[in-house]
Structure 1
């Protein structure tokens, strides 16, 4: 049987991975091992076992060869934000100075990992028998491997599972230090190695479990227009100078879909995306502090950007694009979409001079508003499609979904849809195909 006392006594010797000791599950397991070894402690083993069981019931994403407790410990190791994992993820940092400490910590953590859920369960049953009449055995619930978490949560899941299985199936973890370094260097640590898409919310990066799955190959039409955006993004991914982009056009022309499709196309090359609401643009300096020292390339995505006459957030965006005192890192670009060419609402009253109570130098205010759009390096215009382009998009989407209708009938129905509903746009074409697919499925069911 594992010497629980030895494990308890070596854990405080962790150096780089000390954060793991603060985890609620780890603290509960240590508390339970204390209860098993002292037998005279303040905590009854049945009580401490119940606490661990309750916490582990909420974990998921198991890997082959690990039980619920062991799997949780592997997750903590991969997620841990520490000087070693941060250095591996940062460009140009030397991680070799951490290797002796990492090998030491991994040896300690492997001993903790070897204390399996089944072994803890058996030790608990044995400890509780002393509280029961002879011959009786406590009917404790057994820890089981939890149901797999949603595999769609992240496209990074396969790589994550692979490194976990390497750890689960290797006894000498200190020899896996190089593989762990490579994992952190490629995928990051903390929230970065679990998600490809993020949202800036309440002063922190929130991972998006299910980002839009739209791909560039799913988008029909606007090929020449999208080539400009793809070319700029490829320059960015190859560490060459690239521009912030403003995607301008009428509603439903595919601006946002194009930006989101870039992530699905290039995430494996290190592209990541952070959605930033307009109201939080003033927190730009905090966002770039999170992103600056990483190997990933980030697009800050500001969707449906425009400002009303009395809003002043456009000044924050101007500083963000160019002119702020803090230098914008090379691994961050801004892609914004808008239905308004100059972004800030301008009225004829803005151009009227010498009105009582109005600013004397009104054209200075007008130029300040108009200069915002000019600070984007490239403006890409998405025009409303003509009738033939709209019909080609609708027919192309129907063919992608293999809808069994003749092309001429598809064109006639799509044209009727554009007249009766939301006009001609790629969005309207997609809504038509959604409706048609559902209608045909209902007819087949009937």
Structure 2
């Protein structure tokens, strides 16, 4: 191996030792870009017979950067800002001045190491590949985005790390960032679902906004006030949104995410079939700075369904206090959530249960365990037409009020009746029809 290649191999081995020396931030290499970066380093100090491996490893590293639309340097900073480790976990919960001095020193050392790895940018890696593989020119390099990536709250720290000569000097700012905006999964996304006993982020949440919803303003205002109380750090009430199908109950809850995500609101969807896991979900949210709405859609229970007991624990609490940063917002088409039959009602011939009325009352009163119940009545004609007019205005539909009203009423008659959902479906179809079939 030439002395030049030996120099490259020596630099690579130094970086590998640096990675191995990390005390807290090792997990930042667990994703695709990090893993392929480590694999690329491994191929560089092998024998000349592995030139093809170097070329392949570089190609894979380039591909995963392109896939995630992040350069290695952008990605490394993102991983630091969202890292989940003992330092970030404690910084999230207590002030920087109260952190263990040993933990602080370990984090400072790691930041110095990570800055060394940050300086191994695409240009340097490309020049290594050109030398090792004897290429006539440098390979194409995945460049950082012109527009800074990441969330708005991350931009000041990103800029600071890019320009700072010694990253360890930014440790207190980092700790403050973790304390305000959280770490890990909750720092990376706003919407989640509970799937296979874990939280999974939703990359493309429903884009519905409050401005798209008209009608039921009283219910909307009450829900907004309750959510504002949650965001302010006070005990908010669990809410049951009950009423006719298509009235916008679920859309109203999902629209809260877009209204308040910049104030650290997070939405977690838990399917009715996973309600037994609800206490486990809640415990994962305790002690983090974000505020959470657990969203349960189309809630109802059969007679022999025990899942309502898990929901009851979350609604009413047990010996363990319910976290103040968590509420449950559920929708249902049924006022009484547990299905009841006439045969359930006690009669003189009942011999099986002594206190039968107690069982009946438990079923009927379950919905009362929500602090707020918001009722959504079926839309009358005027409400339906107001919805249509509002959505048509937002969609830029240019029809006379008479023509729009005539078509909207026809649509409701032929399809699903008058509701917010019907109005939305009508406007979506009409907007497309006017464009596609315009003569």
Please give the TM-score of this superposition, normalised by the length of structure 2: 0.87
CA distance in 1, matches of 2:370, 2:231: 19
Which residue does the alignment assign to 1:70? 73
Contact kept in structure 2, 1:32 and 1:45, CA below 8 Å: no
- Determine helix, strand or coil for the equivalent of 2:365: helix
Task: Specify every segment of 5 or more residues in structure 2 that has no aligned partner in the other structure, as ranges.
Answer: 1-6
**Paired position in structure 1 for 2:345:** 351
Equivalences, count: 427
Q: What residue number does 1:107 align with?
A: 112
The secondary structure found in structure 2 opposite 1:104 is helix
Residue in structure 2 matched with residue 134 of structure 1 by the alignment: none
State the partner residue of 1:413: 407
Aligned position for 1:259: 253
SS in 2 for 1:58: helix
Matched, 1:172 2:186: no
> Distance between the aligned counterparts of 2:368 and 2:240, measured in 1?
9
Is 1:127 paired with 2:132? yes
* Cα drift, residue 91 of structure 1: 5.7
Residue ranges of structure 1 left out of the alignment (5+ in a row): 130-136
Residue 328 of structure 1 corresponds to which residue in structure 2? Answer: 322
Q: Which residue of 2 aligns with 1:117?
A: 122
How far apart are the structure 2 equivalents of 1:437 and 1:32? 51
* 1:301 counterpart SS class: strand
* CA displacement 1:7-40 (0-9 Å, x = unmatched): 3333333222132355565455445445544648
TM-aligned CA distance change 1:127 to 1:401, over 3 Å: closer
- Give me the whole-angstrom Cα distance separating, in 2, the residues matched to 1:92 and 1:243: 29
Q: Describe the shift of the 1:95–1:62 C-alpha distance in structure 2 as closer, same or farther (beyond 3 A).
A: farther
Q: Are 2:93 and 2:287, in contact at CA under 8 Å, matched by a contact in 1?
A: yes
Of 231, 234, 244, 1:250 maps to: 244
* Structure 1 residue matching 2:56: 3-state secondary structure: helix
Cα pair distance change 1:443/1:86, threshold 3 Å:
same
Q: 1:14 aligns with which of 8, 17, 22?
A: 22
Q: Using structure 1 for the length normalisation, give the TM-score.
A: 0.86
Q: How does 1:286-435 map to 2 (within 5 A)?
A: 286-353=280-347, 359-435=353-429
Contact 1:221 1:393 in 2 (8 A): yes
Cα distance in 1, alignment partners of residues 383 and 171 from structure 2: 55
| 1:81 alignment counterpart | 84
Q: 1:26 to 1:426 in 2, by over 3 A?
A: closer
Partner of 1:203: 197
Are 2:57 and 1:51 equivalent residues in the alignment?
yes
